[in-house]
Structure 1
């Protein structure tokens, strides 16, 4: 595949070691468009791919700060979405290429790649199509490539496409409404996220169709990624929840004994965003996995 011409930004990479809520939005120039990103912490580079409709503000800063004690954590907006410029991608490979292009601009030869929900699809395509760049893959609240047996729940669709989310909507989408523990965590996470003063633009509704194109491409799996993760030697960690309204963990169960490097954690009384409910615990799971399961390549 032809590589893009990439130019280093004039401004040096800035990092904030402790406060994701105060991290500055920066821009990586890639050909004739810019990828918006933020960086927090120091250490091995760890690029996180965002969810459907997610922008730079939609990561819980407590989760980013917990990871940033050990890693340089990069969050970003896909091309053409939120504060990134250019035309949005129409396939999952384009979304994945944003990760590699950003890594190139920032001077990262190898990275840890992570993704939440739709971002987990992106992270898996980065892993299978740019495997030489990946040390570890971290997947949160997502599904494997190709067709899956267990669909998302109707309540997720009915809620996910609302123009604006209330705390009640966020609880349905990312937590477990039946659990008092999870419902209280939803309020706390919401409050942490809204502390941020510098706001990122939301993804415009007229651009949501590009996520649908990304989904269809991922489900059709023209890259044979499902088979590729069955033979990879890159360590993969999947973190899910007992009540996943979007991507039930049962879709991973059917691949038991077929994924040689994948480990699965399921968190009780939690939903689609376990890292927002338990930011430090999930960050600790991730760090323990990275430190103890090494790439054999």
Structure 2
């Protein structure tokens, strides 16, 4: 089954209904979506490539957004209850927790606070916790706050506008995402998203020092996949933590932006599969 055809599924857990989709079989990988994201914001080619690489690929809508019920929030510590509860309700074990952008922050909180059933973490275009060396670009905030984002906005937000190859990849990715026409999720309200944009555009978006300390102490293998020009979460902030995060591997694509796994869906899936296959969590005796 392709991601384009995957049915919407629902599970009742802890007083709300979480909407999710599942394709493939094998080790589960649970993907936490981006700011303003829902079930339909993942590139089907990336999800299909993960399934083809031997994963059970699970995407979901956060509480109160998309097709899920409950209280909507963009507080990552509260949002982390969604993947935690989904993992428990579906009785998943040996889970790869993954997240894009805001979802990558959520995934880091899961690693720090709810690591019991995890084997690995994979992050896309997100920020490390704590102080940063390079802030976001103002262009992100003006573009992300628009009522509706057109194709040019998508290029600015997730690709590299200066690269013809990245622009062409953006066209292909946007067309693949639009190929699903039935049983789509509900867009995140623009007013809700705007209200959750940081007012101080130079400040760290994820200033959670306890999570940084957890990443410094974890034995869970972590992979971060980035573009070399991410206008919201510059990859330089990860490289600034070299030699302080013992399990973090960094993969950076050239001439790419905030959605590197959409520009390089098959390659990203293969990198993830290789990472999971060749690394393991150190279990202390």
**TM surpasses 0.5:** yes
The answer (yes or no) to whether the contact 1:88–1:210 under 8 Å persists in 2 is no
**Alignment equivalent of 2:238, drawn from 252, 263, 266:** 252
Counterparts of residues 75-224 of structure 1 (less than 5 Å): 75-89=59-73, 91-198=75-182, 199-208=184-193, 211-212=196-197, 219-221=206-208, 224=210
Deviation at 1:212, TM superposition (A): 4.5
Deviation at 1:31, TM superposition (A): 2.8
The answer (yes or no) to whether the contact 2:100–2:125 under 8 Å persists in 1 is yes
* In 2: Cα distance, 1:244 partner to 1:64 partner: 22
1:54 is matched with: 37
Q: Per-residue CA shift, 1:175-200, capped at 9, x if unaligned?
A: 00000000000000011000002211
* In 1: Cα distance, 2:36 partner to 2:74 partner: 15
Structure 2 residue 39 is the aligned partner of structure 1 residue 27: no
* In 2: Cα distance, 1:162 partner to 1:210 partner: 12
* In 2: Cα distance, 1:251 partner to 1:29 partner: 38
The answer (yes or no) to whether the contact 2:13–2:85 under 8 Å persists in 1 is yes
Closer, same or farther: CA 90–118 of 1 in aligned 2, 3 Å: closer
* In 2: Cα distance, 1:226 partner to 1:31 partner: 28
Deviation at 1:210, TM superposition (A): 6.9
2:226 is matched with: 240
Closer, same or farther: CA 28–275 of 1 in aligned 2, 3 Å: same
Question: What are the ranges of 5 or more consecutive residues in structure 1 without an aligned counterpart?
Answer: 1-15
Question: What are the ranges of 5 or more consecutive residues in structure 2 without an aligned counterpart?
Answer: none
* In 2: Cα distance, 1:210 partner to 1:24 partner: 31
Q: CA RMSD in A?
A: 1.8
Deviation at 1:219, TM superposition (A): 2.6
* In 1: Cα distance, 2:173 partner to 2:123 partner: 20
Closer, same or farther: CA 82–239 of 1 in aligned 2, 3 Å: same
Deviation at 1:90, TM superposition (A): 5.7
Deviation at 1:253, TM superposition (A): 1.2
* In 2: Cα distance, 1:93 partner to 1:31 partner: 16
SS where residue 34 of structure 1 aligns? strand
SS where residue 245 of structure 1 aligns? coil
TM (normalized to structure 2)?
0.93
SS where residue 31 of structure 2 aligns? strand
Closer, same or farther: CA 103–211 of 1 in aligned 2, 3 Å: farther
The answer (yes or no) to whether the contact 2:145–2:194 under 8 Å persists in 1 is no
Deviation at 1:132, TM superposition (A): 1.8
Greater Cα offset, 232-241 or 149-158: 149-158
How many residues in Structure 1 have an aligned counterpart in Structure 2? 278
